[in-house]
Amino acid sequence: MLDKSLLIVQHLSWEGPGEHLQAALAESGLNFRVVEAWHEPLPSPDGFGGLIVLGGSPNVDEEEQFPYLGPLKALMREVLASHRALLGICLGHQLLGHVLGCRVGPLPRKSVGFIEGELTAAGMAHPVFQGLPQRLPLFKWHGQGILPPLPEGLTILADSQAAPVEALGLRDNPRVVGVQFDNHVGAADVAQWLKADGEWALAGSGADPEALMTRARSREAELGRGFRQFFRNFLGAGDLL
């Protein structure tokens, strides 16, 4: 029987588990460990029931600049092979697609701020999106994404005008999901991200920082409820409850 605890991989000092993810973890009562991958060795997955890989600035192919990416990809492959639960968020989603054979590359435009996405028929039927509306509010902070077509065995669970693959899953394994959006963060996280990474995010994206913060505050409760539902679903699909 797998240990019902989670390993969470963090890429940057300012981009850890967001407020909504922290609330969802507290609600679950599960034990978890956050590993700061840029300066800590990655542990074996053997002591954990599931893996969450957060977002960050690296691109999936920048192993020379970010040497930990090689071991992280190996860890993700090991988790997949052992049929543990795996959730990739933003860069984590791109890394998941990468290790599963997807193409990852620049999108026509950075996607920064609040948009709407839509669940596909596969997404509507998938366990992790049960109880959520087909039209989903999304918070975005990225310039690259997974590019279709997807390899055999993978399916697009959500899309948007900004990104063709907002969520992906394995057709035969509901424990494994990637989401391009960062709905785990709250308004305080958005303010921190603007302070730490605003120069990159705002350049060429068309996003306005004041409008971004206004929307972050007004949509905080809605995104929090939706993310906690999504996370409960993920834990259930991954046999972690």
Write out pLDDT tens, residues 53-77: 999 999 999 999 999 999 999 999 9
Q: Tell me which DSSP letter residue 30 carries.
A: -
Instruction: Provide, rounded to the nearest whole percent, the portion of the chain with pLDDT above 90.
Output: 98
Per CATH, the architecture of 5-237 is what? Answer: 3-Layer(aba) Sandwich (3.40)
Q: What is the pLDDT of residue 101?
A: 98
Cis peptide, bond prior to residue 149, ω within 30 of zero: yes
84-107: per-residue pLDDT in tens? Answer: 999 999 999 999 999 999 999 999
Q: Are strands 154-159 and 135-147 parallel, antiparallel or unpaired?
A: unpaired
Task: Report the pLDDT value the prediction gives residue 1, as an integer from 0 to 100.
Answer: 45
Mean pLDDT of the region 200-216 = 97
What is the reported pLDDT for 4? 87
Phi, psi values for residue 93, rounded to 5°: -65, -45
pLDDT score for 2: 56
| Contact between 78 and 43 (Cβ < 8 Å) | no
Give the pLDDT score at 47. 87
Q: Name the strand (E) or helix (H) holding 72.
A: helix 69-81
User: Could you tell me the residue ranges of all domains in the chain?
Assistant: 5-237
pLDDT tops 70 at residue 226: yes
Residues 172-199 have pLDDT tens digits of 999 999 999 999 999 999 999 999 999 9
Nearest to 48 by CA among 97, 100, 87: 87
Strand order in the sheet with 5-10: 31-36, 5-10, 50-53, 85-89, 173-179, 167-170, 154-159, 103-119, 135-147
Which tens digits make up the pLDDT trace of 76-90? 999 999 999 999 999
Burial pattern 21-44, b for ≥16 Cβ within 10 A else e, equals bbbbbeebebebebbebeeeebee
